[in-house]
Structure 1
Amino acid sequence: MYPWLDPSGRFSFFKLAVFVALLVPGIVLLWPVIAEGGATIPVKEAILESGEWTIRILLITLLVTPLRRITRFSKLGQVRRQIGVAAFCYVMIHFGLYAISQNLDLGRIASEIVLRIYLTIGFVALIGLAVLTATSTKSAMRRLGAKWGRLHKLVYPIAVLGVVHFFLQSKVDVSEATLMAGMFVGLMLYRFAHWRGWSLRSVVTLSVIAVIAGLATAGIEYAWYALATGIPADRVVAANLEWMWPLRPAWNVLLAGVAISVISLFGRDKPARSWIARLVGNNSVTAEASSR
């Protein structure tokens, strides 16, 4: 029941730190709304920020399993549900703030969801997250059995819907949406590599994933500007070929992948370390036998 307790019921500083980290963005984005008494501008800004945090936290949820495999840090598995529930809480904040911006007019809200495709997509994603959250408990896992795993694979299409909603809502400046799309592609590549049996502890594998994800991100950005806007897509290509600040989404995705590759070098219980330990042990035995 308490987010700072581990499965055995003992206090976990790690789980508490994750809980606080998930709580802070919500406090920061809601504080201006509360301080200004629900004024229009703070509400609009909070709607955008809460939507962005929903996607970010949802992608962090998808990052937990690959990162646990890469680092062998088993405690990461203890916070996956906590992060997933946080994503649902943020999407509810997002929807609640939108309802406030519409003066809580349920008829108007319903008609907007039906008539505006990006709102329809976002609402379907919200319903999907609600279902996953409601069935994330241990009792639900026992009741659903094998069906639970299949049901929770819906997180992947839900993430796609969230990213598409982000793109459609962003309209012209899609840098953040492109970054989220690229991160999602990278996370799917990690899962594909694991499915194929490729080692997620291999720097080569992780580096290739980073490069492919970065290129895919550049391709997504190019496709959006070429198909959905009147902005010349060639400028996007030129921008991605340059090192500039702030970095283009493709560079950010590439660097994130490289960072994970570096992190893999320091993962726990690395086979290489075990091999070195055995080698040292064998040499010690040989030396001892020679001295006798």
Structure 2
Amino acid sequence: MLPWNDRTGRLSWLKLAAFAGVIAPGLWLAVQAAGGLLGSKPVTEAIHQTGDWTVRLLLLSLAVTPARHIFNWPRLILVRRMVGVAALAYAVLHLGLYVVDQAYDLSKVASEIVLRFYLTIGFAALVGLAVLGATSTDAMIRRLGAARWNRLHRIVYGLAVLAILHFFLQSKIDVTEPTLMAGLFLWLMGFRLMRRLNLAATPLQLAGLAVAASAATALLETAWYALRTGVMASRVFMANFSIDIGLRPAAWVLIAGLVVSALALVRRAARAPERRRTRPVPAAAGSAAE
């Protein structure tokens, strides 16, 4: 079955758009490589880009569930598997390019993975993604059973933590993007906590979640720089309230969360007339219905 077709074999525009979206970074990387646009260390740059897209797509796969619930878009589930498998594909390419960078010396690659902690956790995340990819087929779901399959695939949350930590550690000094990814992950997990606590995802509560995730992102960035670089924690934290050096990750997390809240509000307002039209009319007093 072609990846852009639905289960009946017909073209799904949603799946086609998702497929185009997940292969676009790889195609752009190929264009850059062919045009000599990857800088003085093209393999290193390609390693970084594929790693970045692995984390982005992994978080995007985790965003499917919140989007389905907030926007009442059940068909979005059709693309979750594709996005997750794409994250695995970029992770495999990420490792493959690292092997190229090490001149195909597999013994050196293995020793580096064992001896360097950030490579160890990155490889562990890749193995976990491979397990999820191998069990993502309909046949494996039937073989494992829905309950066991769901328990197994919950490890994706831990794998996301490992991937983001790997991102932090390999970024060394500038952890702007890893911090942003961590903040978005906090929002995604906060939404799941709301669901577990049976809290309705109203626009107001989503706005509160955006504020909480933004504050947690600022604290995380502050703690990272303070512990890893020795920079005064107060200076890092106060940088989140200044735009002189551009918006910090906490601000982008807040903006993204508030945009989701605003879209949820628009959707609720748009559905209000529909709910009024479909609301049952009570029988009049003294009518034949009594």
Q: TM-score, normalised by structure 2?
A: 0.92
Equivalent runs, 1:24-103 vs 2, <5 Å: 24-36=24-36, 41-103=41-103
Shift of 1:32: 3.0
Partner SS state of residue 243, structure 2: coil
CA contact (8 A) 1:40 1:101 kept: no
The whole-number CA distance in structure 1 between the counterparts of 2:93 and 2:129 is: 13
Match of 1:177 in 2: 178
1:157-236 maps to which residues of 2 (within 5 A)?
157-200=158-201, 202-236=202-236
Aligned residues: percent identity? 48
Cα shift at 1:28? 1.1
SS of the equivalent of 2:41 reads: helix
Q: 1:114 to 1:108 in 2, by over 3 A?
A: same
- Give 1:242 deviation, angstroms: 1.8
Q: Higher RCO, 1 or 2 (CA under 8 Å, sep at least 6)?
A: 1
Q: After the TM superposition, which of the residue ranges 264-273 and 109-118 deviates more from structure 2? A: 264-273
Give the aligned residue type for 1:237: F
**Closer, same or farther in 2 for the Cα pair 1:95/1:40, shift >3 Å?**
farther
> For the aligned residues, what is the CA RMSD?
2.3
Q: How many residues align?
A: 284
Q: Is the 8 A contact 1:7 1:78 kept in 2?
A: no
Q: Deviations over 1:221-271 (max 9, x none)?
A: 001011111322222112101234631000000111011111212448987
| Matched residue, 2:8 | 8
Q: Which amino acid aligns with 2:240?
A: N
Cα separation, 1, equivalents of 2:16 and 2:273: 31
Q: Is the 8 A contact 1:186 1:213 kept in 2?
A: yes
Change (3 A) 1:21 1:91: same
Deviation at residue 274 of structure 1 after TM alignment:
4.8
Letter aligned with residue 187 of structure 1: L
SS at match of 1:120: helix
TM-score, normalised by the number of residues in structure 1: 0.91
Deviations 1:118-145 (A, max 9, x none): 0000000000000000000000000001
